[in-house]
Structure 1
C-alpha cells in the first residue's frame, strides 16, 4: 500500500461544513477553520481531486453548506450528498457510493464537528480499507475535551491526523511544478497569513 497521498490516489471529503454547525466550533477560531476549509477546496480544484461534500438536514438549524464552497467547486456543491439525519456519513448509502465512484483509496477528510461528524466516518473508512488523513484545522468541536477524546479515538482507529498546510505540501510534492507553484501561492495567500 502506498502511504503517500498524491493527486492521483486521493479524494477530498468535506463533511457538514454548514453555516449552523460551523458556529459550534469553539476549540479553534472559526475564521481559521473557514479559511482552511476553503483552502482545501481550492487545492482540490488545482489538483483536479475528486471532491465529495455532504450535509445533514440543511433546512434545520445546521443550515446550508458554506456558500463559498459553491463558488470554488460548483459541480461538487450541486452534487453534494444531503443526508436526512444519519449522523455517521459513512452509514449513508449515497455518501458511500459517491466515495466508491471516486475510485480513490486515500481519503482526505474534514468535518464539523470533529466530535460528531468526523470521528465516526473517518474510523469506519479505515476499517473498510481506506487510508484516511483527518485535517484537524479544517474541523472543530464545541469543547476542548470532546475534541481531544475524538482525536485520540481516531488515532487509535488508524486515522492519521494532519493540518491543512501539511496535506497540501504532501499533495504538491514539488513546489517548482505548475500545480506546486499554485499550491504554495495558495498557502501563502490563504493559510499562512493567519499566523503572521
Structure 2
C-alpha cells in the first residue's frame, strides 16, 4: 500500500502552522484570509484536545510581525512561535529540531503561502523522511498561487486533504466524535460542515 493511501493517525501527527501573519493575510481576498485563520485556529484546538503537538512559525518577525492574534491566543501553554528566516522550515535547524523532538512522523501543514513557504516546507519534510499532509482549506496564497502550490505538493507525494477530512481521520470513530462535541467546548468554524 502506498504511504499516502493510509489514514492519518492522530498519534503520529504533528500540526505545523506556517506564517499566518497579518502582513500576509492582507494580501488575500478577505474571505480567504478569514477562512485560513478560522480553520487554523480550529485545527489547533482540535490538535490540543487530541494531544497532537503543534509547531507555529512566523517569517522574519521583526519585519513581518508575529503570528496573527487569533492564533497566538490559542497556542498551548509553554509553546512559542519560531522566527523563521527561511522559506522552507527544514532549512532552519531550530525548527527542524523542534519538529523532530515531537517524535511524530506525519507532518500536517497549514498556513501561508501555499506555493512558497508551505510548499517548500512540505518538500523539505518529504526529503527528511516525513509523511506530509497539507490541509487545502487551511492554506492560501494570492491569485493562482494556492492551486499551483497544491499541485506541486501533490505531484511530489504530499497527501492533500481538508479540515473536515483530517478531523474525521484523527477522531476515527463515532463515539470519539460524540465525545469531542459533547466535552471539548470547541465549536466548528463557519462554513465547515461537520455532521
Shorter-chain TM-score range: 0.7 to 0.9
Taking structure 1 as reference, are residues 185 and 25 closer, same or farther at Cα in structure 2, changes over 3 Å only?
farther
Note the aligned Cα RMSD (angstroms): 2.4
How many equivalent pairs are there? 189
Q: Secondary structure at the match of 1:72?
A: coil
The answer for the alignment partner of 2:124 in structure 1 is 124
Shift of 1:181: 2.7
Shift of 1:28: 5.6
Structure 2, unpaired ranges of 5+: none
The answer for the alignment partner of 2:7 in structure 1 is 4
The answer for the alignment partner of 2:169 in structure 1 is 170
Matched residues in 2 for 1:11 and 1:180: separation? 23
The answer for the alignment partner of 1:96 in structure 2 is 96
Taking structure 1 as reference, are residues 106 and 23 closer, same or farther at Cα in structure 2, changes over 3 Å only?
same
Shift of 1:185: 8.4
TM-score when normalising by structure 1: 0.86
1:55 is aligned to 2:55: no
TM-score when normalising by structure 2: 0.86
Q: Secondary structure at the match of 2:47?
A: helix
- Post-superposition, which runs of at least 4 consecutive aligned residues in structure 1 deviate over 6 A? none
The answer for the alignment partner of 1:66 in structure 2 is 68
Cα pair 2:107 2:133 within 8 Å, conserved: yes
Matches within 5 A, 1:78-93: 78-83=79-84, 85-93=85-93
